[in-house]
Amino acid sequence: MKAIVFNKNGIPEKLVLQEVEKPNPLENEVLVKIRAVSVNAADYRSMQLGMIPKNGIFGSDVAGVVEAVGSQVKSLCVGDEVLGDLSGKGSGGFAEFVTAPESTFVIKPVTVSFEVAAAVPMAAMTALQAIRDKGQVQAGQKVLIYGSGGGVGTFAVQLAKYYVAEVTAVCNTKNVPLTRSLGADHVVDYSEEDILNLDRKFDVIIVVNGNRRLMLYKKVLSAEGRVVMVGGSLSQILKTMIFGPILSMGSKKISLLAAKALTTDLEFIIKLVAEGKIKPVIDRTYPLKETSDAINYLKQGHAQGKVVISVLQSKPFLFT
């Protein structure tokens, strides 16, 4: 099969399209023919940190068709259309096929395309767990989504609206119309306005991206409010780990989210997508051989929604 394999000594290209052995499913695993896979910050962050999957193949958010099942597999059959998050299962999504335990996948609704399904897993589960679990967002609460333009942010705005919050979203000029179209009640263009100058406080602040001081978020938080730190710069995440517990000693709380790949959450979200209640936003779609370009584009930090790799191409693959 063809796969994008990481080669740490690769000059100039570390991610190379190669012919590798097609995997065989173990007894509790399924073999999935991948139709689409999306790119996440976790892909390039893992590369930067030297956390390389065993087979050198990154990519975790896949959608495809079950091609073979292990002898103990009960919930899936050959031909089922599925999606899943392979993070924590060895990744392997930037490829034509992948094997993973059957418990990794949920059934893809027929009305949802493979590309749209692949855009969902990690970003949407992260947004859901930030809003519903860590943020405990309630109807009528004022929620600030700081960094609404990317993969997690576009889901976070829609999910906060789903939970009937009053949503203020912060993004760059380019993303203002998109963020409004996703349902945000107020949109703040961070290149023109500072959240410190807003005349309101927030019950929940979801920090998806950016690099503001933790104390700044606390200043615009209501008395019993919560800040949920999802992402941003590595230094900001480290500071939250170190100073979050100290800054949470009063009634205002600051915590860091460590999202989990849960099939119950994935089923919940893909149902909302199928019902048209949540619309995944796809900025660009690349062919498998251009995975490196797709990752570099995401790495620039200003993708509008998700970046997706379409694995099945009508054009023949070119080996270089």
Q: Which stretch binds ligand NAP (CB under 6 A): 103-111, 229-237, 245-253, 310-318?
A: 229-237
- Whole-number minimum distance, CB 133 to ligand NAP, in Å? 11
- On the question of a cis peptide bond just before residue 12, with omega within 30 degrees of 0, the verdict is yes
- Whole-number minimum distance, CB 260 to ligand NAP, in Å? 8
Q: Does 182 bind ligand NAP (CB under 6 A)?
A: no
State the Cα–Cα distance between residues 189 and 155, nearest whole angstrom: 18
Place of tokens 């509790």: 28
- Whole-number minimum distance, CB 7 to ligand NAP, in Å? 24
Question: In whole angstroms, how far apart are CA 232 and each of 10, 124, 146, 240?
Answer: 28, 17, 10, 11
Number of chain residues interacting with ligand NAP (CB under 6 A): 32
Residue 252 contacts residue 221 (beta carbons within 8 Å): yes
Residue 43 contacts residue 34 (beta carbons within 8 Å): no
Q: Which is nearer to ligand NAP, 40 or 141 (CB)?
A: 40
Residue choice 38, 126, 158, 263 for contact with ligand NAP (CB under 6 A)? 126
Residue 92 contacts residue 59 (beta carbons within 8 Å): yes
82 to 111: interface string for ligand NAP, x by CB under 6 A: ------------------------------
Q: Does 187 bind ligand NAP (CB under 6 A)?
A: no
| Amino acid symbol at 58 | F
Residues 242, 244, 247, 248, Cα dihedral to 10°: -140
Q: Does 208 bind ligand NAP (CB under 6 A)?
A: yes
CB atoms within 10 A of CB 175: 25
Which residues here bind ligand NAP, judged by CB under 6 A?
40-41, 45, 122-123, 126, 147, 149-153, 170-172, 175, 190, 208-211, 230-232, 257-259, 298, 301-304
